[in-house]
Structure 1
Amino acid sequence: MTEGAPGGMEWSLRIVPGRRWRGAVSGVSGWIRELAPRGRNVLSRAVLPPVQVDRLADRVGAGPVAWAVELAQGMAEHMTTQIPQLAVDGLVQELRKGCEAVALSIVAALAENVEVAPEPPAEALTGAAEAVGRGVGIEHLLQSVQLGHAYAVREILAEAERHLPASDRFAVVGHVSEVLFAIVNQLSAEMTREFSLAHAAWVTSSAAVRMELVQEVLAGKPVAAEHAHRVLGYDLTRRHTALVVWADDLEQADPRRLEAVAEQLLRAGGATGTLILPVGRQRVWAWGSSVRGASVGPLTSTGTPPSGIRVAAGLPESGAEGFASSHGQALDAVRVGMLSRTGRWLFDYAELDLIAMLSTRLDEACRFVHRELGGLAGAGEPATTLRTTLKCYLDTERSLNTTAELLHVARNTVAYRIQRAEQVRGREIEVRRMQLQVALALAEEFGDLVLGEPTTPG
């Protein structure tokens, strides 16, 4: 919807005020409001801003919205399984946002039985620019739209069969088909237009040539250092620290602004050479180099970027292989950053390496956290306070005094909380201490994503 549409949501397909869907049968669409997700805590895994998701939940109910978020996750997984070219950094994140925006739009249109204007959600189109810079063709994008359409139809009709008597299903099939075909037609046309514009701008840019060479280096292909220096203006034989800088939302998505942040951070950290490449509209890849044996300094000492901008950093590594490995580490840190519930702006692989490795399967991480924390995995302020205190206590080598200073509480308060944490956990802190510290770190970083009720395997 655009601003001014019912609910004022700017991320969804625009609803034509007062215009009911042609061919819809009065009363049949009410079953949409009975939808509910199969999993738990699904809304906490939404990738669109919570305020936007909550607006629709206020109008049609939390159940249908959570069902749509779950539908979008399934759509994105189906697309990336069938089209592996889409499962790359930058593009896959935009794909997930687009799927969620479309799924929520579908639920809004069906639940409110209103007509959709030809104006796809902005989040569904940002992947076009990302795809161009990654060498992904328009045929893959259009195929993803068709795959998403087929997946959504199958899931929606399965729900209709569960909720409606046979006498109503024929009308619903027609209604669903008309709504979804309209959305697919709109998306396909607009996606093609966006891709054409982005491609025309990309092929005439120097970034296209540089990205092609960078992709060869990242893939481990032999690239002569002299040739790379001529094309990139960057020395691959030195020591590199890779960054990924991205914007939280479209309003912050100015590649020049992101490039400036990357340049400033790397230079402030001591880099004497930089390579910065835009990857679509919402992120840039960057490397800072120093002479062999030296490293770009800590980024935490270089100030804070503008609000809404996040940074992931890899470890300093040497040579062409280090150029690629540091970038891979930065991408792992990006994944943590996209899921993180903390307010931090910097996601440094040097600090998050263990969390990055353990969070590749978030469902397993959730079960691990519950196994290790026991009652400490509970919701609410008391459990949060105990987890925070216990983590600080363990991180400071079990120093009551240091923990008290860091948390600004009395030493006796820390001692009481540690004793209480052991009681709530059901085990002393020395039992599987390493696992306990890891579980506390995961809980601090991912919050409700791992503290919610774990799903049952299978």
Structure 2
Amino acid sequence: MYLLTKGALGGTDWSLRFGRGQSWRGPVDNMGGWIRELAPRGRNVLSRSVLPSAQVDRLVDRVGTGPVAWAVELAQGMADHMTTQIPQLGVDGLAQELRKGCEAVALSIVAALAENTEVAPEPPAEALTGAAEAVGRGVGIEHVLQSVQLGHAYAVRELLAEAERHLPASDRFAAVGHISEVLFAIVNQLSAAMTREFSRAHAAWVTSSAAVRMELVQEVLDGKPVAADHAHRVLGYDLTRRHTALVVWADDLEQADPGRLAGVAEQLLRAGGATGTLILPVGRQRVWAWGSSVRGAWVGPPASTGTPLSGIRVAAGLPESGVEGFASSHGQALDAVRVGMLSRTDRWLFDYAELDLIAMLSTHLDEARRFVRRELGGLAGSGEPVTTLRTTLKSYLDTERSLNTTAELLHVARNTVAYRIQRAEQLRGGEIEVRRMQLQVALALAEEFGDLVLSEQATSR
């Protein structure tokens, strides 16, 4: 057994003291040097960050691109490990907040180690939002705290592996002590703060009517038998009608106002023809909503209603009938949410009616990435010129290969379109009639997800 005791303020010296009074001292003035050499295993990792880009960019300016990208990759691994060990954390809403929290913590770990500074007095705000989500989904505090311990163990393992890779044997002992000190401080701080936040959220939740309604809605979504008249009394909503489900969420904490999100959902559903609505908050940053109408009538969120407030996104399922339709439309909306969370477009409405194929094909993003690179060949490169070629080719195929229509849509000359199509075929390494259906799907995935599915350098077929 050993204890870590801090030396001079700022971490410029430390002692590793053993139980019998023995000690080993070593300088840590340059302890952050090897952290700045970290680099991720994958490509385009920073593009997968789930935190506001300005927040990530600030840390990049301080410690470099490599360590920050490594932290983003570490966070993904932490979140995947947690949801594998605790499946209750993998549900919609909670899974996204878990990933944000892991990334915020991973970035704070890298910052503390690279800059050789004290751990911040409070954990990152994004690390605590999952507590409210957990309460709303019926996940217990024991699972929340277990996730903190799992994340800690995962981060320690990865950091020690990196220390062994980057440091000579004579320096690893010091690195182990420094890593342990920083991570134990963070995990203890986070566990205490998470417990407080969970208790506060739970106290508010159990006294709300939303808790009773969410319990019943979850039974319906799980396929359990629920009497329609009982559901109508509890929910104030008729499950026998025709439903369109929405999920409305905020991109960041500054926009996290359940009341405002509920207002957006209500406005969209009413504008789409709903005569009845059911809206439930799911944590702080999203709401689930349904709009209903008489059988046969169409209900949906029209894009013509205008863009909601900045930072607010909406996913919509298909109109479906009855109790089964209530659940299936919601499931489609959740699939559209997944696309929306990954999308590199500037759209605010993610309608499953338009994104069904993309949603299905992007369930396994690694497979989608390989598919896109395989089908596009040299068109899977980055940069504005090749992006222009992809946009032109997609428009050309979407308009049934009409040069004139494509030229009008893109506001360029007909000959320009013809040249771009010829150039796109050259880069792809094959004519557009070869595997045309696959080509169109790959172009759609590339347009939606951008660098998440594109290679840094163009590949060949």
Residues 244 and 320 in structure 2, CA contact (< 8 A), matched pair in contact too: yes
1:64 and 2:55 aligned:
no
Q: Deviations over 1:252-296 (max 9, x none)?
A: 000000000000000000000000000000000000001011121
1:183 and 2:217 aligned:
no
Residues 22 and 115 in structure 1, CA contact (< 8 A), matched pair in contact too: no
1:82–1:297: structure 2 CA closer, same or farther, 3 Å change rule?
A: closer
Question: Which residue in 1 is equivalent to 2:442?
Answer: 439
Question: Which residue in 2 is equivalent to 1:288?
Answer: 291
Aligned amino acid, residue 86 of structure 2? I
Which residues in structure 2 correspond to 1:351-366 (within 5 Å)?
351-366=354-369
1:450 and 2:441 aligned:
no
CA distance in structure 1 between the partners assigned to 2:381 and 2:162 by the alignment: 32
CA distance in structure 2 between the partners assigned to 1:149 and 1:266 by the alignment: 43
Question: Which residue in 2 is equivalent to 1:148?
Answer: 151
CA distance in structure 2 between the partners assigned to 1:423 and 1:166 by the alignment: 52
Among 252, 274, 278, the residue aligned to 1:275: 278
Question: Which residue in 2 is equivalent to 1:28?
Answer: 31
Among 221, 225, 230, the residue aligned to 1:227: 230
Q: Deviations over 1:288-307 (max 9, x none)?
A: 00101112145212221111
Is the deviation greater in 401-410 or in 185-194? Answer: 401-410
CA distance in structure 2 between the partners assigned to 1:161 and 1:392 by the alignment: 51
Residues 21 and 115 in structure 1, CA contact (< 8 A), matched pair in contact too: no
Following TM superposition, by how much is the alpha carbon of 1:174 offset from its aligned partner in structure 2, in angstroms? 1.0
Following TM superposition, by how much is the alpha carbon of 1:25 offset from its aligned partner in structure 2, in angstroms? 2.2
Q: Deviations over 1:399-430 (max 9, x none)?
A: 11111111111222212211221122111111
Following TM superposition, by how much is the alpha carbon of 1:29 offset from its aligned partner in structure 2, in angstroms? 2.8
SS in 2 for 1:114: coil
Q: Deviations over 1:219-275 (max 9, x none)?
A: 000000000000000000000000000000000000000000000000000000000
Residues 29 and 172 in structure 1, CA contact (< 8 A), matched pair in contact too: no
Among 159, 166, 187, the residue aligned to 1:163: 166
1:199 and 2:190 aligned:
no
CA distance in structure 1 between the partners assigned to 2:56 and 2:120 by the alignment: 20
TM-score (norm 1): 0.94
Following TM superposition, by how much is the alpha carbon of 1:19 offset from its aligned partner in structure 2, in angstroms? 3.1
Residues 244 and 300 in structure 2, CA contact (< 8 A), matched pair in contact too: no
Among 382, 385, 389, the residue aligned to 1:382: 385
Following TM superposition, by how much is the alpha carbon of 1:22 offset from its aligned partner in structure 2, in angstroms? 6.2
SS in 2 for 1:115: coil
The alignment's C-alpha RMSD in Å is 1.3
Is the deviation greater in 426-435 or in 24-33? Answer: 24-33
Is the deviation greater in 112-121 or in 291-300? Answer: 291-300
Which residues in structure 2 correspond to 1:7-18 (within 5 Å)?
none
**Matched positions, count:** 438
CA distance in structure 1 between the partners assigned to 2:32 and 2:55 by the alignment: 23
Residues 248 and 309 in structure 1, CA contact (< 8 A), matched pair in contact too: yes
SS in 1 for 2:397: helix
Aligned amino acid, residue 202 of structure 1? W
Question: Which residue in 2 is equivalent to 1:215?
Answer: 218
Aligned amino acid, residue 130 of structure 2? G
Question: Which residue in 1 is equivalent to 2:405?
Answer: 402
Residues 269 and 301 in structure 2, CA contact (< 8 A), matched pair in contact too: no
1:428 and 2:419 aligned:
no
Following TM superposition, by how much is the alpha carbon of 1:116 offset from its aligned partner in structure 2, in angstroms? 1.1
Question: Which residue in 2 is equivalent to 1:83?
Answer: 86
1:298–1:282: structure 2 CA closer, same or farther, 3 Å change rule?
A: closer
Is the deviation greater in 98-107 or in 444-453? Answer: 444-453
CA distance in structure 1 between the partners assigned to 2:244 and 2:456 by the alignment: 38
Residues 28 and 168 in structure 1, CA contact (< 8 A), matched pair in contact too: no
SS in 2 for 1:243: strand
Question: Which residue in 1 is equivalent to 2:19?
Answer: none
SS in 2 for 1:451: coil
CA distance in structure 2 between the partners assigned to 1:75 and 1:226 by the alignment: 44
Aligned amino acid, residue 358 of structure 1? L
CA distance in structure 2 between the partners assigned to 1:354 and 1:453 by the alignment: 25
User: Percent identical across equivalent pairs?
Assistant: 89
Question: Which residue in 2 is equivalent to 1:333?
Answer: 336
Residues 31 and 116 in structure 2, CA contact (< 8 A), matched pair in contact too: no
1:19 and 2:28 aligned:
no
